[in-house]
Structure 1
Amino acid sequence: MGITKRLGEMPLSAWHWRLLAIIAVGWAFDAMDTGIVSFVLPKLMGLWNLSGAQMGFIGSIGLVGMAIGAALAGSLADSMGRKKLLAATMLIYGLGTGGCGLAWNYESLLFFRFIVGFGLGGQVPVAVTLMSEYSPDKYRGRMIVLLESSWAIGWLAAAVISYLVIPQYGWQIAFFIGAFPALWVIYVWKAIPESALYLVKKGKLQEAHDIVCEIERSAGIPCGAMPTAGETNVGKKTSFAFSQLFTGVYLKKTICLWILWFGLVFSYYGIFMWLPTMLVKAGHSMVQSFSFVMWMTGAQIPGYFTAALLVDKIGRKPTLASFLILCAGSAYFFGHATTWNEILLWGCLMSFFNLGAWGLMYTYTPEMYPTEARASGTGWAGACGRIGGILAPIVVGMMFTGPDKFSLVFAMFTGVLVIIGLNVLVLGEETMNKSLEETGGE
């Protein structure tokens, strides 16, 4: 039995949960860094006398870094290995986040936010690829959505830190706390293995076999036989040109994923990076706005768990499309909410469905490409998404010129979410319970 089949048919074990936990810590700090910025912006707006356009650029410059980091790290991970790139990108964004705490003016903060974005954008496609390649076929969707759920934990941590720490100790300390991944990377390097599927592609059968045997022992099953070159993809294509993403069976997949990523990232960063500021400008106090966002962030966690429950039962395509359409409806009503209860209800539902959709998107994307292109295909889709994220804060900054524009901004997000939901229904394909060989066309 080949390495891919052994990994795909493996029962879940403590080994899988440990790998998930290790990667999830880095993912949570990724979210915490992004969240801290959204809470720091209202403070800096007064402290540094920033305009709406300048605040938009603080959010967008990190996304420029994310786009470059996602494309570059994804491609490098397919040639150099998942583990090396995961560690390198984690170190970069950890150091960059610490640098944000040392920023002395608007320009220096922009520089450090670009560095942070480069590391964050690079980590995501590599981490999700590694987790996908070690997850059993039957549970792969659930494991990736659970990995993405750590984003909500990171955002919640950012909200708590911002609520409790920033008012008393200043905004810099929040960034210093967010620099923890620069230390966590030491443990990551020692604790996680290289992707066995990547090793097979590079002809390192013995090393891949040893790793899979360790997982099998953790699951309480006998170690499988050492595969021969004929039972694996050794000797087959090990490189994948960017242009191939737009040829043959990959063209439809790439178009679907790029539209999905662009729209979902646009809606997320446009809504959540501006949300505390928009609520303040709409007439709520800063304390009220932080409170609203904390509740909305908490709603993300059951959103992820619901997505994790459904993704391996009713499928990727119907679950993802449903979450996107329901998020669109919630965004529309949130934009027209006037009372405290309405803001809280529709805001929590919008957050529930939006972040559940993110977990589903991360499950879906790496399943579309073969091993030699999985990280780069995911990275380029992520890069396209970050373009949406770059534009979103700027667009919101230009549109939101007063409280009367609140409903207009969220009507725009409603339209975007409906479009990408229909995109999944029309162009998407179902991948539930299929091996990575089947879904990726290996």
Structure 2
Amino acid sequence: MKVKGNKLLMLIGTAWLFDALDVALLSFIMPVIKQSWHLTAGELGAVSAVTSLGMMIGALVCGYLADKVGRKPVLIGTLLLFSVGNLLLTVTPSVGWFIAVRFITGIGLGGELPVAATIIADNFTGTKRSRMLVLVDSFWAFGWIIASLLSFLVMPKFGWRMTVLITALMGLYALLVRRHLPEEAPAERSNQRPFGAALRQVFSVEYRRATICLSVLWFVIMFAYYGMFLWLPSVLVLRGFSIVHGFGYTVLMSLAQLPGYYLAAWLMGKVPRKALLAVYLMGTMLSAAAFGLATSAMMILISGAWLSFFTLGAWGIMIAFTPGQFAVDARGMGMGFAQSIGRIGATIGPFLVGALMGAGIKIPGIFMVFVGALIVGILVLLFGLRDNDRH
């Protein structure tokens, strides 16, 4: 069944929307359950870490299954895990059950993005493929906006359980819509190798360099994004900027992502992808430095908006860059492995910020850690990766 580009964009965009919705909603829910269940800092950290652990496993396993059994059934399965997980979350009686359910939900969330990206990569080529992958990643911003609306309008009146129930029902609706995803040709699920052999394939001479460099880049981008953005409200409150708790600030940071995505999509085909990604990573680095050094509310808003613009734009370009480094029979595993390493960065980033703050390191010093990581990412990109685009 042939699905037109715009329709496929909308169908696959739900993967990024629900991932962002879940990440953002969890950041709003955590202070609420901390107070109602009297959680320690360690228990609250476990809630965040177990989600990242599930996402790491989900990216690797679902990427492999996408090559073995097909993209469509695996993508539908990931959304089913997300929806069922959130339904179960609404009835969790304690933090222990909450953590267990979050692990299951994380597997679905982590598996969605690499599989979704492979579907777009399989259905388009060249500049069209790159643009579609950046545009589909832009749905992340809409997920954050929806989470903000739910958190500021629904959660205060009806509680976090009802808010999570709404997201679960939204997931079930999207599950019905995904029946219209295109069926793969037999060639697109030709990799019947066992898991170990599939993993060895992406580390073969043909793919080793790309796999290692992409894994480092995904680690850096997720380390920086989750480390900075999950801690931004707490960091700014400590510095006396209560503005970050407002609905307007949250929506502004989400809206600032959209022009970053759309400019990157427009520049695809006009500027080499390596050069474009390098510019966005350098923009992220400079914005992080400016944010860490900001001393006024206006500077917080301006540098924070630029940080959103460049960080998420870089993520979108990475989504466009990664699948084309692998042929179709290794694409799911290659994408899944690289993103699973990225999820390790997503786990380390927030914990490192907390540890550095506990050790008395000042905010500018903490943000310089992210600047250093981004410099490593830029060097790996420029000297390690080739701008391949395999069909």
Into which bin does the TM-score normalised by the smaller protein fall?
Answer: over 0.9
Is 2:5 aligned against 1:16? yes
Residue matched to 2:121? 132
* Mapping for residues 270-349 of structure 1, pairs under 5 Å: 270-285=227-242, 288=245, 290-349=247-306
Unpaired runs of 5+ residues, structure 1, are 1-12, 204-236, 438-442
**Is the partner of 2:270 in helix, strand or coil?**
coil
Distance 1:336 1:287 in 2: 16
User: Is the Cα–Cα contact under 8 Å of residues 283 and 403 in structure 1 kept in the other structure?
Assistant: no
- Distance change in 2, residues 1:202/1:21 (3 Å): closer
Residue matched to 1:28? 17
- Structure 1 residue 56 displacement after superposition: 2.4
Is 2:183 aligned against 1:183? no
What is the Cα-based RMSD across aligned positions, in Å? 2.1
Q: Which of the two has higher C-alpha Rg?
A: 1
Residue matched to 2:329? 372
Distance 2:381 2:160 in 1: 40
Unpaired runs of 5+ residues, structure 2, are none
Distance 1:349 1:403 in 2: 27
Cα displacement string for residues 133-192 of structure 1 (whole angstroms, at most 9, x for unaligned residues) = 112423111100000000111011112221222222222222112212133212212x11
User: Is the Cα–Cα contact under 8 Å of residues 70 and 189 in structure 2 kept in the other structure?
Assistant: no
- Distance change in 2, residues 1:296/1:247 (3 Å): same
Distance 2:321 2:254 in 1: 23
- Distance change in 2, residues 1:261/1:202 (3 Å): closer
Task: Among all aligned residue pairs of Structure 1 and Structure 2, give the percentage whose two residues are the same amino acid.
Answer: 37
* Equivalent residue letter for 1:141: S
Residue matched to 1:423? 380
- Distance change in 2, residues 1:54/1:312 (3 Å): farther
* Mapping for residues 12-161 of structure 1, pairs under 5 Å: 15-161=4-150
Given the two structures, how large is their TM-score scaled by the length of structure 1?
A: 0.82
- Distance change in 2, residues 1:259/1:407 (3 Å): same
Distance 1:103 1:301 in 2: 35
User: Is the Cα–Cα contact under 8 Å of residues 69 and 189 in structure 2 kept in the other structure?
Assistant: no
Is 2:151 aligned against 1:162? yes
Residue matched to 2:221? 264
**Is the partner of 1:331 in helix, strand or coil?**
helix
User: Is the Cα–Cα contact under 8 Å of residues 3 and 181 in structure 2 kept in the other structure?
Assistant: no
Distance 1:424 1:276 in 2: 30
- Structure 1 residue 245 displacement after superposition: 2.0
**Is the partner of 1:372 in helix, strand or coil?**
coil
- Structure 1 residue 274 displacement after superposition: 2.4
- Distance change in 2, residues 1:168/1:405 (3 Å): farther
- Structure 1 residue 280 displacement after superposition: 3.0
Out of 355, 378, 382, the position equivalent to 2:339 is 382
Distance 1:107 1:286 in 2: 33
User: Is the Cα–Cα contact under 8 Å of residues 57 and 394 in structure 1 kept in the other structure?
Assistant: no
Distance 1:59 1:40 in 2: 11
User: Is the Cα–Cα contact under 8 Å of residues 99 and 112 in structure 1 kept in the other structure?
Assistant: yes
